[in-house]
Structure 1
Amino acid sequence: MPKLRVLARLTRLMLVLLLGLLMASVIALGERVGLTASIERRQRWSCWFMKRLVTALPFEVRVLGELPKQPMLWVSNHVSWADIPLLGMLLPLSFLSKAEVRHWPVAGWLAEKAGTLFIRRGGGDSQRLREQISAQLSDARPLLIFPEGTTTDGRHVRTFHGRLLAGAIDQAVPVQPVAIQYLRNGEADPIAPFIGDDDLLSHLMRLFAQPRGEVCIHLLQPIASVGKERAVLALQAQQAIHGALFGVEEATVVPRRQARAA
């Protein structure tokens, strides 16, 4: 039975990826003849593809809360590669993602065409990254980042890097916190997290061999960025997400500059 389940799910996934390849070919052909689509249109195409991709993943998805009606800087905890299609299906947006995603079959190519910003681990180019994020937000294009900088096992939330939220302050754009939660039998899903040296294919095979899990996506109250230090803004977003996932807030930490001023 598990082998038949894996085969059926892989077949469905391959059909979705073939659809993505067809989309990629049409976009590439248009670029060759000078018909380059706008970023907004490519974001819509990417969102449409992500919705189809999610239907091929073994999850029951619940979305709690309301989608924002204006472009914002989205921030989310990060558990799995599946976060990207699960959040990318909600509305047309771009991502800040690790450089490896650029080389993923089909999805990476479409992500790049939809305006994804790719960051190298340890790249040390904070100012350039800040300018790129600011440029996305100044063009009224929603952008999603994972400010923990890495994936977790879903049982805790790491410290958010405030430097990644500086662009929201520069452009006076609100921050939209999003908490994503993978559950299996009412507990934190031990299979969904994509951590350590795991590889995509092995993880996918393990995921497909199991019964369907549950994903809860919590769209939380937006946070105003005007007049805030980036460390304060990051802490507020982190606490909001931690509270949605675990029901309690972490201890409040006062940023150093604010503490000295007091």
Structure 2
Amino acid sequence: MAPLWDSEDDPDPIEIGTIGWLLVLARGVPLALLVFGGLIVLLLVRLVERPLCGLHRPVTPHITQFVCRNAFRILGIGFESSGELMREHGAVVANHTSWLDIFALNARKRVYFVSKAEVANWPGIGWLARATGTVFIERNPKQAREQTRIFMERLGVGHKLLFFPEGTSTDGLRVLPFKTTLFAAFFAPELRSTMYVQPVSVVFHAPKGQPDRFYGWWGDMEFGPHLLKTLAARRQGRVELIYHAPARVSDFDNRKALAAHCEEAVRHAHSLARLTP
């Protein structure tokens, strides 16, 4: 298991007053109905979709996208996106700030996340991940051949795979060095000539008057308190997605060169966007 990133400073204290708890109810109940209602609909549709279409998912990704788009409307968090979506076969890579990244990236583009295997056993999040077609893998170079097989299978039916090369979430104020392990699978002879990777910068802008790292979720921070803090915010901020030009894998000598290129694109745009009021 990859080590979790942690800040030198303790997380900001969470204070939820009377108005905050009213907002938790006003936003939390509709959000729960949206997420779990959408999950039930997705599972019912998948009962028909799976035997007819196998790995192809012509309907259920639209349900996921609908849920994620409307989750931001319920939360009151602004959502912005720029850049063209990749049309080529391949993967998407992004920096990782919070569980909110998953909603943001699904809201803009129908993708399938690549996640560490232990997430499948997490209560709640694991169920949602499995239902939406997440690919669970071991972050182990010895598993490279098996990862390549899984990626080929999913890419072969048109899935866009998405993973976080940092390997951990942060406070949202920085982009960590990209780990290169998962990039190795893209250099397999079966994939290299046709594979593209699109970098995406995910930038969270905190609510006015709140610390810049308001939406960050890192280290040993628990999900429940972070969710309550987000629901209770009197003012919300916004999330910004910046899609960069897809990189053709065959243009790079090795996984380290490709990872460095993607990291630089994500880091540069992330730094510039954070300076924007």
Q: When the two structures are superposed, what TM-score results if normalisation uses the length of structure 2?
A: 0.78
Q: Which structure 1 segments of 5+ residues have no match?
A: 249-262
Following superposition, the deviation at residue 58 of structure 1 comes to 3.9
Q: How does 1:57-206 map to 2 (within 5 A)?
A: 57-103=75-121, 108-120=126-138, 125-170=143-188, 171=191, 172-184=194-206, 185=208, 189-206=212-229
State how far apart, in whole Å, the 2-side matches of 1:186 and 1:219 are. Answer: 28
Following superposition, the deviation at residue 12 of structure 1 comes to 1.6
Specify the code of the residue in structure 2 equivalent to 1:230.
Answer: R
8 Å CA contact 1:75–1:146 kept in 2: the answer is yes
Identity of aligned residues (%): 31
Specify the code of the residue in structure 1 equivalent to 2:198.
Answer: Q
Specify the code of the residue in structure 1 equivalent to 2:247.
Answer: I
Structure 1 pair 58–190 and aligned structure 2 pair: CA distance change class (3 A): farther
Deviates further, 8-17 or 163-172: 163-172
Structure 1 pair 13–235 and aligned structure 2 pair: CA distance change class (3 A): same
Q: What's 1:257 paired with?
A: none
Following superposition, the deviation at residue 227 of structure 1 comes to 4.3
8 Å CA contact 1:47–1:93 kept in 2: the answer is no
**CA-to-partner distance for each residue in 1:160-185, whole Å, 9 max, x for gaps?**
12221223333131110000011113
Following superposition, the deviation at residue 114 of structure 1 comes to 3.5
8 Å CA contact 2:42–2:63 kept in 1: the answer is no
Q: What's 1:216 paired with?
A: 240
**CA-to-partner distance for each residue in 1:72-110, whole Å, 9 max, x for gaps?**
310000111111111012122211023354356666434
Following superposition, the deviation at residue 135 of structure 1 comes to 2.9
8 Å CA contact 1:182–1:188 kept in 2: the answer is no
Q: When the two structures are superposed, what TM-score results if normalisation uses the length of structure 1?
A: 0.82
**CA-to-partner distance for each residue in 1:197-254, whole Å, 9 max, x for gaps?**
1222111001112121111110112112114211000000000000001149xxxxxx
More relative contact order, 1 or 2 (CA 8 Å, 6+ apart) = 2
RMSD: 2.8
Structure 1 pair 188–86 and aligned structure 2 pair: CA distance change class (3 A): farther
State how far apart, in whole Å, the 1-side matches of 2:176 and 2:107 are. Answer: 25
Q: Which structure 2 segments of 5+ residues have no match?
A: 1-18
**CA-to-partner distance for each residue in 1:8-57, whole Å, 9 max, x for gaps?**
1111212212322431441365479x556653323333223322333333
